[in-house]
A and B are shown apart, each in its own frame.
Chain A
């Protein structure tokens, strides 16, 4: 990871960026996000298989934006998140420097947006293999079994909204669940309200989820809520042949209409 550290130092020293967002190991060895603004601290940056958090989640936070120009350590999901955030006008590529990391952990030279585009274009964008099997198994269930499965899983939800906080696409300053005039989504953690929240979250991410799986990983009670959004990713691809986060100019499938769109899902 010497290359990453050298590059981070260089960017900070020549003041190209004011902060580098990456990963570091905490005192107990747990990997955590690092916000490095002093070149001297860049040595603490690491990148290995433990570094899974989607760092793009910080790019839209006002307190992070205020730090100045940002360099961000970016695996494929982070790059796709960045693409998505640009397409939804939440960030501009000028505000960031992408420190791309390939699947095998090598620092990529992402000189500009088109290079990142090229890297994304030649990557496999379908759901990660480790989730594909789970999804396939869930698909085998009958609708009644599926409903029972999700009712059981969602009954565990404590409405902590960690799934929302971990997701780079959940950047609204005021989430629907915080709207109380009227209170469409109940605040309490109960069977009804939990279902409402998770269906709502999945629908808000339909066609926008970049399949990083962070929502499920962040869940403190182990609800595989990432499978909901990933299933929608599959569905969107089946119907419209697009994956989220593949172009800075992409329009969400949920908000666009083409005369030749398939309508086979309309009952």
Chain B
């Protein structure tokens, strides 16, 4: 005989302002099988929970319905309270009176009636709940960090320093990411390379970190604590153990006219190359698409000059199969380039560059050795215009979001320019200055007040070339929308930060959701900013949205702690709300007919095949089986199964049916 306890919460006034909680508790208390029904101002508070615990013991309850808020936040709270009261936590259900009733209706009798109906359905459901036991799954204590920029580096080092193994995957030949391309960093103007390269070296030398550069994720299977990741190690055409990194091959390579990716196309590199002098690992790779040998079948000069005979032209790609417990995604971002802007000449004008190109111009290790020279003729620009929000905050261009870092780096660019070209004039067109952050606004003020950068609040309608000069036409909205025309020698666009190329593809391999801009989606925007909705996969850095270095690094450390917390246990405990394929006695074994449509529909690859064999070893029947470590309890397979052979524990067919029938019946 069921003895149900119902606890109606006022949620302060969130529920009681429109729902007559007293009437709900009283009406429900008169229902059959309801042994106890009460109301309280805050059920989630300590006294509220004590009320539940005491009632379980006093009234010998067999099930509990907490009529309060959405289960998302407080279901674990009340389940725990029930467990402490001596009741199996899965015999506790929540009726959502707040989101489903009080918040969306006005105060009247119908609202209270609806609240009663919601509670009734849960009373009927909880009668059919079964006492479930948590699922335990083992944990492989090796983490994978995808992406070797500053976020990936920080995460990998933090995890490795907790004593766990880390495998880092980077698709380009060196780690370092965008940070290695920057000249100086705001708001301190310290050299980016100087603070980054020690970290890069630390990654390479850390005993707990295995680094695979020039490698990409091929496929991901499995689940939290037990991922199986296939990694494609692209052929570097090099025996990395034999190579000493002397660099002779890179100087002798006859192919020297390949635009250098690291220099943002502003310098050239050979076909066998190290992306930049401080690269980690400091070993060259052969770019097979541009190598004369791979194109024409002869050359092999690098092989001839190599003192250690390390070149391997016939090296194949290698597929590594790795067992991984947790994954940190740190694949970073890209930026839009000048060709995205028809109004600024579609990238036709050589002296309209993007912010990352300016970083290379300003960098001491860049193509101009840190002298600001414009690309067209190498002249030092006397008048330079920076355009902030190029693409960002522009729904017409499909990018409604703020790229966040541009205000700060534009101030930095203008400042660096003024420090290098004292007599030059720097103008900045901006929409708003967004400089929230420690010492950020002071930095922008310094650019304006000390370095006399001319900030103009307004947008630029067009940039065109006249007599070898760039004419920038804009508006100054602080001077009554007065038109402004500046004759510039060079224009720098603070172009929008966008998702890294291949982000969508990777998200699909990882089964992680992403937003309409292809940025990876966090599990909760406020309370789970580091987690994804796939357990065991975490986010770090600008793959989630454009971020500056301190934000990326903090998040990376946050992700590392999540991984470390996961690895601190030998077994994982999972909620047992999973699907289950029924089993019957032989010769049917299950009503499942083995069409395996559930297998293809399952978003989590949680459905396996189970064979039943006769004594002679012959397979009599093959039916579906749910891997409870992988199943997330979404119920898609339940909906698809034609023979209703799958059920969802905690949300079984009989429970849902009882809820529906309760609504249809009078009480």
Contacts and interface: CB of A to CB of B under 8 A. Distances in A.
A87 B591 CA distance: 19
Contacts of A171: 593
Question: What secondary structure prevails in chain A residues at the interface with B?
Answer: loop
Contacts of A182: 653-654, 657-658
Interface in B344-381: none
B640 A172 contact: no
Contacts of B595: 88-90
Contacts of A204: 642
A252 B594 contact: no
A173 B643 contact: yes
B591 A173 contact: yes
B642 A176 contact: yes
Given A88-B595, A89-B595, A171-B593, A255 B640 contact: yes
B598 interface: yes
A99 B507 CA distance: 48
Interface string A199-226: 0000010000000000000000000000
A181 B654 contact: yes
A251 interface: yes
B597 interface: yes
B596 A89 contact: yes
Nearest to B582: A174
B622 A89 contact: yes
A182 B591 CA distance: 15
A117 to B, nearest CB: 21
B501 interface: no
Contacts, number: 53
Interface residues of A, number: 21
A255 B658 CA distance: 28
B643 A176 contact: yes
B107 to A, nearest CB: 32
Contact of A255 (B598, B622, B653, B654): B598
Contacts of A181: 653-654
B439 interface: no
A175 B643 contact: yes
A173 B653 CA distance: 19
A173 B642 CA distance: 11
A259 interface: yes
A191 B622 CA distance: 38
A176 B593 CA distance: 12
A179 B643 CA distance: 8
Contacts of A251: 600
Contact of B593 (A90, A255, A256): A90
Nearest to B658: A182
A184 B657 contact: yes
B600 A172 contact: no
Contacts of A89: 594-596, 622
Interface string B329-353: 0000000000000000000000000
Contacts of B591: 172-174
B508 interface: yes
Contacts of A255: 597-598, 600-601, 640
A74 to B, nearest CB: 21
A252 B599 CA distance: 11
Contacts of A172: 591, 593, 642-643
A254 interface: yes
B588 interface: yes
Nearest to A201: B642
Contact of A174 (B508, B596, B622, B643): B643
A170 B217 CA distance: 41
A88 B597 contact: yes
A173 B657 contact: no
Interface string A161-195: 00000000001111110010110100000000000
Given A89-B594, A181-B654, A252 B642 contact: no
B644 interface: yes
A174 B581 CA distance: 14
Contacts of B622: 89
A259 B513 CA distance: 13
A254 B597 contact: yes
Contacts of A173: 588, 591, 593, 643
Contacts of B658: 182
Given A89-B595, A90-B594, A182-B658, 10 more contacts: A89-B622, A174-B643, A176-B644, A181-B653, A182-B653, A184-B653, A254-B601, A255-B600, A256-B600, A259-B508
Interface of B: 508, 588, 591, 593-598, 600-601, 622, 640, 642-645, 653-654, 657-658
27 contacts: A88-B595, A88-B596, A89-B622, A90-B593, A90-B595, A172-B591, A172-B593, A173-B588, A173-B591, A173-B593, A174-B591, A174-B645, A175-B643, A176-B642, A176-B644, A179-B644, A182-B654, A182-B657, A184-B644, A184-B653, A184-B657, A204-B642, A251-B600, A252-B597, A252-B600, A255-B598, A255-B640
Interface of A: 88-90, 171-176, 179, 181-182, 184, 204, 251-252, 254-257, 259
Cβ-closest 7 pairs across A and B: A182-B657, A255-B597, A255-B601, A172-B643, A174-B591, A88-B595, A255-B600
